[in-house]
Amino acid sequence: MTDISAHPSGKRKTSSLLQLDARTKRRNAAERRFQIYGLVCIGIAMVALVMLLVSIFSGGASAFRQTFATFEMTLPAETLDPDGNRNPEEMAKVTTIGYQNVLRQGLVTAVRGANIVPEGMTDADITGMLSPEAAADLRNRVLNNPELLGQQVEIDALAHGRIDGYFKGRVTMQSAERDANVTPQRLQLAQAMADNGLMALRFNWGFVTKPDASDQRPEAAGLGVALLGSLYMMLVVLVLSVPIGVAASIYLEEFAPKNRWTDVIEVNISNLAAVPSIVFGILGLAIFINFFHLPQSASIVGGLVLTLMTIPTIIISTRAALRAVPPSIRDAALGVGASRMQAVFHHVLPLAMPGILTGTIIGLAQALGETAPLLLIGMVAFVRDYPDGPPAGLFDPASALPVQVYNWTQRADPAFVERSSGAIIVLLAFLLVMNAVAIILRRKFERRW
Amino acid sequence: MNDMRIAERDVSTSETKITARDVNVHYGASHALKGVDVDILNGHVTAFIGPSGCGKSTFLRCLNRMNDTIAAAKVTGRIELDGENIYDPKVDPVQLRAKVGMVFQKPNPFPKSIYDNVSYGPKIHGLTRSKAELDEVVETALRKAALWNEVKDRLHAPGTGLSGGQQQRLCIARAVATSPEVLLMDEPCSALDPIATAQVEELIDELRSQFAVVIVTHSMQQAARVSQKTAFFHLGNLVEYGETGQIFQNPRDPRTESYISGKIG
């Protein structure tokens, strides 16, 4: 053998292993630089995440707490049930205005009883301490349980949004002077009531369970209808897009002949994934509402539109997951005489399941946060009534979480700022729950051998 | 020809099981197999040898129509199993593969338990009526594959947790469990160490009493050890086919001679 490895000069230069040569130094420096770039990128991403979370949580956490006036009073049977037979249908003739008067009486008595002197305030001024919603709440409570009449009950009345704003630092004495909805006297009274334990900020489930309220009553606005609407839409998306998407991918990946037609279909599915979501909204408006005459604002239409949006995402990730299953598994199944369908359903699909679930959850998460197409099919409507239980409730008008956020940011009252941030927290929590379910399912399906 | 079918599975006769005539395979533009004629006998181990890319694996995969799964592969000619053309349009390849089992180059147990690996074939073919019967089939198959004693206490442990040689014997047990009539083996020992190889070779010799065994191998020593018939493939041609002893000691074709003496390949 000739010595082809020798140095061209004929003499081999040897160097010490203990001394780094220039080339090694350069390579090491490049590697270090690359690691630093990576760390910087991760740092930027983390800072962005922290900024997002801080801004949302600092703005939105207060939405979960609400000011309530708590006092005891006797519900006067003679005004609230003039006929005296406790028939809810007849009692319903007494409107919220009647209850408002009763509440005022109770509140005034409670304030006097606590030896608070509301300076320069009429009884009507004192009513303004409470949310108009408080009277409606009391009316519902009485109609549901007529036995309460004539009894001493504890009232938990929602305070007016401005009073709530005072305890949250949004409303000050200075701003109250320029505000038509509140006076400094009311704030002073609120402070006095709080000092006497008649008024307090506490956790408010109503924010999550109650329906939306009008622009005048931010304190009563809740996410109940939007949550239900989003839940129904996710159910529709899950039930429709997963079977359709997975079946389409299995056909394309395992059965379809590879020819020009399947190429065209493939390209189109990839393009579909990139179509702006508002286009799907127009499609839904044209097809589901104008052609099939499905009801507007209904979660079934929203779900169908989001299904169309989600299918390409699921197809792309499912195909990738199927392709990642080693062909030897298919060979093994075919080799013992399994049909192609048996090979797919018994062996390939279970192995691809974690990947399919990941794709599904990404698709669902996208769909959950989608706003634009829902605006076009009327889900932006102001809906106070809860939809029925599924399946009939799918055709009832409902709202959706992201649309509710959008809706609230449009409103004039500054109290809606905290509520929209709070709604985003609920949306993120919804997402987190979905991801957690996906991770648990994935763990279950993942084969560790 | 149908009367040549034998009812009982004890294969001691040396009648023809598979007849291949003028088999050609094209992968797109390339002509991978050129006019192959072979008779595969019952009760024999037939070895296919030849350099890489010579078409021996391609031919093996024709025998149970595994090439159907490759879209570009086109097979022409006649391959008869007990006188029936397996490429007849009426033949369902799934039914064929139940009769012609296959063991692959790389051990490929399903990521399931040992028991599930072996019982899968009998289950999908409905060969057993009860759990007890299935248990028996699994035990018999594992015994035939000389694996029973090693795994009988952990039948529900994952099959992929076994050693390479055990995995390959598990794959053999899986193929045997469906009671095939022919067993195809595509370089079954190429991923195994010498001890596991010896075990599998011993197994092959025992299996030939029940099946016609066809084995593709790169190792000429292995072909000489386990087979009774040997076919030498070169560049898509079947160069020579005959008794193993004759092929190795007294090859008729100069190409065979150069290959077994190490000059080509």
Domain ranges, ordered by start, for chain A = 64-204, 224-445
Least Cα distance to B20 among B49, B63, B54, B69 occurs for B63
**Residue of chain B whose Cα is closest to the Cα of A332:** B108
**B229 close to B243: Cβ distance less than 8 angstroms:** yes
Bridge partner residues of A68 (DSSP): A158, A200
User: CA B54 to CA B72: how far, in whole Å?
Assistant: 18
Question: For residue A100, what pLDDT is reported?
Answer: 85
Query: Quick check: A337 and B174 CB within 8 A?
Result: no
| Residue range B45-62: mean pLDDT, rounded | 89
Under 8 Å CB pairs connecting chains A and B tally to 68
Residue with the bigger pLDDT between A431 and A380: it is A431
Query: Residue A97 is inside which H or E element, if any?
Result: helix A96-113
Instruction: Answer yes or no: is pLDDT of A123 > 60.
Output: yes
- Domain of B237, CATH number, reads 3.40.50.300
Whether B186 maps to a domain, the answer reads yes
**What mean pLDDT do residues A424-433 have?**
92
pLDDT at B119: 92
For residue A335, list chain B residues with Cβ-Cβ distance below 8 A: 64, 66, 97, 101-104, 175
Which of A60, A59, A99 has the alpha carbon at shortest distance from A79?
A99
Q: In chain A, what percentage of residues exceed pLDDT 90?
A: 30
* Rounded Cα gap, residues A239 and A244, in angstroms: 9
**pLDDT value of position B55:** 86
B69/A330 touch (CB, cutoff 8 Å), yes or no: yes
Are A335 and B109 a contacting pair at CB < 8 A?
A: no
Say whether A337 and B97 touch across the interface (CB within 8 A).
yes
Shortest CA gap B123–chain A (Å): 10
Instruction: Pick A224-445's CATH classification: 1.25.40.340, 2.70.98.40, 1.10.3720.10, 3.90.550.10.
Output: 1.10.3720.10
Whether residue B73 lies within 8 A of chain A, CB to CB, comes out as no
What does the alpha-carbon distance between residue A383 and residue B209 come to, in Å, rounded to a whole number?
Answer: 79
The chain A residues in contact with chain B (CB within 8 A) are 257-258, 326, 328-339, 342, 346-347, 351, 447, 449
DSSP state of A218: G
Q: What is the pLDDT averaged over residues A54-70?
A: 89
**Whether A98 contacts A118, CB under 8 Å:** no
Q: What percent of chain B has pLDDT over 90?
A: 19
| pLDDT above 50: residue B8 | no
CB contact at 8 A, B77 and B109: no
| A328·B175 Cβ contact <8 A | no
How far apart are alpha carbons B29 and B110 in whole angstroms?
Answer: 34
Residue B222 lies in a domain: yes
Contact A180, A42 (CB under 8 A): no
Mutation for testing the B interface, residue in A336, A347, A445 having most B CBs under 10 Å: A336
Residue B170: name the closest of B195, B199, B194, B193 by CA. B199
Residues of A whose CB is below 8 A from B71: 257-258
Does the residue B117 lie in any domain? no
CA B223, CA A152: separation in Å to the nearest integer?
100
Across the interface, whether the CB atoms of A329 and B110 are under 8 A apart is answered yes
Asked whether residue B74 is domain-assigned, the answer is yes
The pLDDT value recorded for residue A1 is 45
Identify the pLDDT of residue A5. 52
Closest Cβ opposite residue A335 in set B101, B125, B160: B101
pLDDT level of residue A9 (50, 70, 90 thresholds): low
> What pairs with residue A159 in β-bridges?
A130
Residue among A329, A335, A337 whose CB faces B124 most closely: A337
Rounded to the nearest 10 degrees, the angle between the axes of helix A299-323 and helix A277-284 is: 130
Which one of B106, B111, B120 has the shortest CB-CB distance to A336? B120
pLDDT in tens, B173-232: 999 898 888 999 998 888 788 888 888 898 888 888 888 899 999 888 889 999 999 999
Whether residue B24 is contained in a domain is answered as yes
Q: What pTM was computed for the model?
A: 0.81
What is the reported pLDDT for B1? 36
**What does the pLDDT average to over A261-267?**
91
Task: Collapse the DSSP code of B123 into the 3-class scheme (helix H, G, I; strand E, B; otherwise coil) and give the result.
Answer: helix
- pLDDT at residue B3 tops 80: no
What are the CA-CA distances from residue A441 to residues A307, A427, B19, B63 (Å)? 21, 21, 51, 41
Residue of A258, A346, A449 lying closest to B161 (CB–CB): A449
**Any chain A CB within 8 A of the CB of B176?**
no
B161 touches chain A (CB under 8 A): yes
Band of pLDDT at residue A273, cut at 50, 70 and 90: confident
Contacts of B170 in chain A (CB under 8 A): none
How many domains in chain B?
Answer: 1
Residues in chain A closer than 8 A to B103 (CB atoms): 335
CA A117 to chain centroid: 44
Among residues of chain B, what percentage have pLDDT more than 70? 94
Q: Do A449 and B178 touch (CB under 8 A)?
A: no
User: What average pLDDT score do residues A58-81 get?
Assistant: 85
pLDDT score at A71: 85
- Which site among B120, B154, B156, B168 would you substitute to test the A interface, given the most A Cβ atoms closer than 10 Å to its Cβ? B120
Burial of A309 (0-12, 13-18, 19+ CB in 10 A): buried
pLDDT tops 60 at residue A6? no
Euclidean distance between CA atoms A335 and B224, whole angstroms:
26
Of residues A382 and A342, the one with the higher pLDDT is A342
Please report residues of A whose CB lies closer than 8 A to that of B110. 329, 332-333, 347
Higher-pLDDT residue of A8, B39: B39
Whether B175 and chain A come into contact, CB under 8 Å, resolves to yes
Residue A10, pLDDT above cutoff 80: no
Domain that holds residue B47: 13-110+182-260
**Interior/surface letters A294-304, b for 16+ CB within 10 angstroms, e for the rest:** bbebbbbbbbb
What is the rounded average pLDDT for all residues in chain B? 86
B115-149 residue pLDDT tens: 999 999 998 888 888 889 999 999 989 988 888 88
Q: What is the largest CA-CA distance in chain A?
A: 120
ipTM of this model? Answer: 0.84
CB under 8 A, 24+ apart: contacts of B257-265:
B259/B49, B259/B50, B259/B51, B259/B232, B259/B234, B260/B220, B260/B232, B264/B51, B264/B234, B265/B50, B265/B51
Closest CA to B56 of B206, B205, B226, B241: B241
* A43 touches A149 (CB < 8 A): no
User: Which residue type sits at B239?
Assistant: V
Calculated CA dihedral for residues A302, A304, A308, A314, nearest 10 degrees: 100
Encode pLDDT of A168-184 as tens digits: 888 888 888 888 788 88
Residue among B69, B121, B161 minimizing CB distance to A336: B121
Return the closest-CA partner of residue B9 out of B17, B18, B1.
Answer: B17
In this structure, are residues A66 and A206 in contact, taking their beta carbons and an 8 Å threshold?
yes
Q: Which residues contact A156 (CB under 8 A, 6 or more apart)?
A: A68, A69, A70
Name the more confident of A403 and B72.
A403
For the purposes of burial, counting CB atoms within 10 Å of the CB of B204, is it exposed (0-12), middle (13-18) or buried (19 or more)? buried
Q: Tokens 């055990």 correspond to what residue? A: B166
- DSSP strand E in A125-198: where? 152-158
